[in-house]
């Protein structure tokens, strides 16, 4: 059996994590945002979310970081998809994640204060980018310390997990699955087995 759902198992393997405990009240902001998909950019401010694990300042920083990683551009970003809430849920269930996120957020904020004399949240977009780039690009920059890189990697991974499992995220990908077909979908490029003559990329 089993042997075959490679990508799906890949996802699950990502998460080797230890136990924590808390109950989660639900995806408050996300549920809100969801109701407005397709109605254009919503102007309504979501009701306040009360984080389960993070402190309010930590949560604000987390929310800001997720939006920097997957920003609102032509399509909605991480904030509208409620990614920070998803991360709060996952982290609330696991003590190792709690340690990693808390340490990482504090580290980043301290670094911002050290370099720019202001918190990450109040730093300018240029400063924020300058703080994150050494963590994100391994080859372009000299090592910025293991802790920072590992934190950013985890943060980005959970941001991706949280974003692409919402209706917003799957719409962004134009996810074609979980639909019903009458026959198994076939490659439409009959005369082009090597797919050398496809129309120009859409993106």
Partner 1 sequence: MVRGMPKQIYDVIVIGTGAGGGMVIKTLCEAGLKVCALNSGRRLDPAKDFRDHRMPWEVQYRGFLDPALRNKSVTGFAGESEYVRGAWESEITYTTAPGTKWMWPRCSAVGGKTNFWGRSSAIFGDIDFRAASLDGHDVDWPVTYDEMAPYYRRVEKMVGVASTIQNRPSNPDGVYLPPFNFRCFDRILQVGAEKVGVPYLPDRISQLTKEHEGHPACHYCGNCTSGCEVGAFFSTPFFLLPSAEATGNLELRTNAIAKNILVDDRGQATGVAYVDRNTKNELEVFGRIVVVAASCIESTRILLNSKSRHWPTGIANSSGQLGRNLCDHLYGIAASGYLPQLLGQPSFPDNVSDSSIAWMPRWQNLHHPHEEKFVRGYSVYPDGGCWEFPSYHDEIEGFGTSFKREIKRRYPTPVSMMTQIPTLPSARNYVDIDPVAKDSYGIPKPRIHFQWGQNELRMWSHAKKQCADVLRASGGVVDFVAEEPETPGYSQHEIGTCRMGNDAKKSVTNRFGQTHDVSNLYVADASVFVNVTDKPPAFSILTFSLRASEYLIEQFRTRTHSTSANSQS
Interface with partner 1 in residues 6-25 (CB under 8 A): 6-13, 15-21, 24
174 is a site residue for partner 1 (CB under 8 A): yes
- Among positions 33, 69, 123, 131, the unique one binding partner 1 when judged by CB under 8 A: 69
138 is a site residue for partner 1 (CB under 8 A): yes
CB 57 to partner 1: min, Å = 22
145 is a site residue for partner 1 (CB under 8 A): no
Residue closer to partner 1, measured from CB, 43 or 139: 139
| Euclidean distance between CA atoms 180 and 182, whole angstroms | 7
202 is a site residue for partner 1 (CB under 8 A): yes
Judge contact between 67 and 80, C-beta under 8 A.
no
141 is a site residue for partner 1 (CB under 8 A): no
Contacts of 104 (CB under 8 A, 6+ apart): 147, 148, 150, 151, 152, 154, 155
Q: Which stretch binds partner 1 (CB under 8 A): 41-49, 67-75, 101-109, 116-124?
A: 67-75
DSSP for 25-60, please give it: ---HHHHHHHTTTTS-S--PPPPP---SSS-HHHHH
CB 193 to partner 1: min, Å = 5
Residue closer to partner 1, measured from CB, 62 or 97: 97
By C-alpha distance, which of 40, 37, 202, 154 is closest to 146? 154
Residue closer to partner 1, measured from CB, 117 or 160: 160
CB 169 to partner 1: min, Å = 9
Within 13 Å, how many C-alpha atoms sit on residue 27's CB side? 22
Residue closer to partner 1, measured from CB, 118 or 157: 157
Buried b or exposed e, range 151-190, using 16+ CB within 10 angstroms: bbebbbebbbbbbbebebbeebeeeeeeeeeeeeeeeeee
Residue reference for tokens 């136990």: 19
Interface with partner 1 in residues 74-133 (CB under 8 A): 75, 77, 86, 89-90, 93-94, 97, 129, 132
């Amino acid at each position: 059996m089993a042997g075959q759902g490679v990508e799906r198992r890949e996802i699950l393997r990502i998460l080797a994590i230890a136990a924590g405990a808390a109950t989660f009240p639900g995806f408050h902001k996300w549920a809100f945002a969801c109701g407005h998909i397709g109605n254009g950019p919503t102007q309504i401010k979501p009701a306040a979310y009360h984080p389960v694990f993070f402190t309010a300042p930590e949560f604000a920083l987390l929310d800001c970081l997720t939006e920097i990683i997957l920003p609102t551009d032509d399509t909605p970003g991480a904030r509208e998809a409620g990614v920070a809430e998803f991360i709060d849920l996952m982290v609330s269930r696991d003590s190792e994640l709690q340690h990693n996120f808390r340490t990482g957020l504090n580290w980043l904020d301290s670094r911002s204060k050290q370099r720019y004399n202001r918190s990450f949240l109040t730093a300018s977009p240029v400063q924020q980018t300058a703080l994150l780039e050494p963590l994100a690009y391994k080859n372009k920059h000299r090592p910025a310390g293991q802790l920072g890189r590992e934190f950013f990697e985890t943060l980005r991974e959970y941001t991706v997990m949280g974003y692409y499992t919402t209706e917003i995220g799957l719409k962004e990908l134009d996810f074609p699955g979980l639909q019903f077909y009458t026959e198994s979908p076939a490659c439409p490029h009959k005369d082009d087995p090597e797919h050398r003559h496809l129309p120009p990329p859409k993106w």
